Structure 1
Amino acid sequence: MFMSNWETPLNEKNADAGADRRTQLRDRLIDIAQETVAAQGLAGLKARDLAAAAGCALGAIYTAFHDLDELILRVNARTLARLELALDAAFVDAEAEQALEAMARAYLSFARKEEPSWRALFEHRLPPGAPVPAWYADARNRLFSRLDAPLAQLLPGKDATARAALARTLFSAVHGVIALGLEEKIAETPPKLLDEQLGVLIRLLAAGLMMESARLI
């Protein structure tokens, strides 16, 4: 069948317009989901409510995202980006212990300021067997990389792989103190006491790492 010269460009134009609409819908849904999580936590995120707020059909969500898990990960990626900025703003080019304590306190401040969004980072679970998307893993790993410089000061004999593993351990320790402190499940933890406990933890960890470094020399 003969195809006129203008048909292909028109089809391409329509395809571009459709892609633009999907992009706009994606951004709108992420914005709405982000606001919902910030106000109500992950439990407040419902597909029907999202569709109603975005002014789209329920099924349209799944033309913009593979599933609701992807949408949640996009929201969480934004939270990670804000946390990354907070850590960078707090980082001090000083002794390793001071740098670690500054970042730990920045993490605590972020958790207090954006608690529902912060909790969503850890409450969300992918279905069993579902892989973590590479783009999300990269965003998460960038946070751990912030710990590499001070750890390299404390443990100059450790290679990058060992420091990366240690960064995750250090993060887990700090996160555990903050999470339990904010939840007050073990004991009542006033803000001042939690601040003090965090400082003590970092100093103990730094001292232990320096002892480990001396042992390896």
Structure 2
Amino acid sequence: MAEVGFARFSAREVAKRIGYSVGTLYNVFGTLDRLLITINTRTFQLWAEYVRQRLETSGADRIQTLVEAYFGFARDNANSWTAIYDHHLPPDVVIPDEQNLQRGALTQIIVDEVAAVLPTQAQSEAPRLARSLIAVVHGHCVFDLNGSFALMNISQPMELALDRVWEALIHAGAAAPSR
């Protein structure tokens, strides 16, 4: 996935590279969707670790670190990152609870950091606000990676995303960061 991306991904190629038959892969995973769920869950785990590592050496503005880590992981792992969003599950396929928990670790990091900048009375809104802010950053990141911002002559999409995030956090009661 990391090498060829979602559109060119093939279970047959995976089987060939690891020395298994395609049938063995399907015996282990059941369906192509379940194989893709597992691969994408692994990407979420790597992404969460990437964010944790950046937060360990973060400066005072940990929200900036989150936004930079979002863009950094997406830029460094474009094929894997994009595959998360390009794989659409059929309505009858459910992500296993264990994998949902693993995927949710990334969101929880963001929720915790958002809650940390909010005043006590607003912290209960952190999960909802964090998810909305993820969508804001994600949209900016997609436009960065697909070239849409370049077509609009916007050269600093990460900074724009950070500005939008801080505007929302300040509106929710967070103190503005010192820059």
Where on the TM-score scale, by shorter chain, does this alignment land: which range? 0.7 to 0.9
1:125-204 superposed matches below 5 A = 125-152=88-115, 153-158=117-122, 160=124, 162-185=125-148, 187-188=150-151, 192-204=155-167
Partner of 1:8: none
- Provide the rounded CA distance (Å) in 2 between the counterparts of 1:149 and 1:210: 16
SS at match of 1:202: helix
Q: RMSD over aligned Cα, in angstroms?
A: 2.4
Kindly state the Cα deviation for residue 185 of structure 1 after the two structures are TM-superposed.
2.9
- TM-score, normalized by length of structure 1? 0.70
**C-alpha offsets along residues 174-215 of structure 1, whole Å, 9 cap, x if unaligned?**
11111112212365267951232133223222222227x9xx
Kindly state the Cα deviation for residue 53 of structure 1 after the two structures are TM-superposed.
2.7
Higher relative contact order (CA 8 A, sep 6+): 2
- Contact between 2:11 and 2:32, CA under 8 Å: does it hold in 1? yes
**C-alpha offsets along residues 21-44 of structure 1, whole Å, 9 cap, x if unaligned?**
xxxxxxxxxxxxxxxx11110112
Does residue 113 (structure 1) correspond to residue 43 (structure 2)? The answer is: no
- Contact between 1:101 and 1:202, CA under 8 Å: does it hold in 2? no
- Provide the rounded CA distance (Å) in 2 between the counterparts of 1:190 and 1:135: 43
Paired residue total: 173
**C-alpha offsets along residues 135-185 of structure 1, whole Å, 9 cap, x if unaligned?**
22112211111123332231422455x422222111111111111122123
- TM-score, normalized by length of structure 2? 0.83
Partner of 1:66: 30
- Provide the rounded CA distance (Å) in 2 between the counterparts of 1:189 and 1:108: 19
AA of the residue aligned to 1:136: Q
Bigger radius of gyration among the two: 1
Flag structure 2 segments of 5+ consecutive residues without an equivalent.
Answer: none
Percent of residue pairs identical: 25
- Contact between 1:148 and 1:163, CA under 8 Å: does it hold in 2? yes
AA of the residue aligned to 1:46: S
SS at match of 1:146: helix
- Contact between 1:47 and 1:58, CA under 8 Å: does it hold in 2? yes
- Contact between 1:154 and 1:210, CA under 8 Å: does it hold in 2? yes
Partner of 2:85: 122
Flag structure 1 segments of 5+ consecutive residues without an equivalent.
Answer: 1-36
1:20-39 superposed matches below 5 A = 37-39=1-3
**C-alpha offsets along residues 39-72 of structure 1, whole Å, 9 cap, x if unaligned?**
1101122233333333333212111112111111
- Contact between 1:40 and 1:116, CA under 8 Å: does it hold in 2? yes
1:88 maps to which of 42, 47, 52: 52
- Contact between 1:87 and 1:106, CA under 8 Å: does it hold in 2? yes
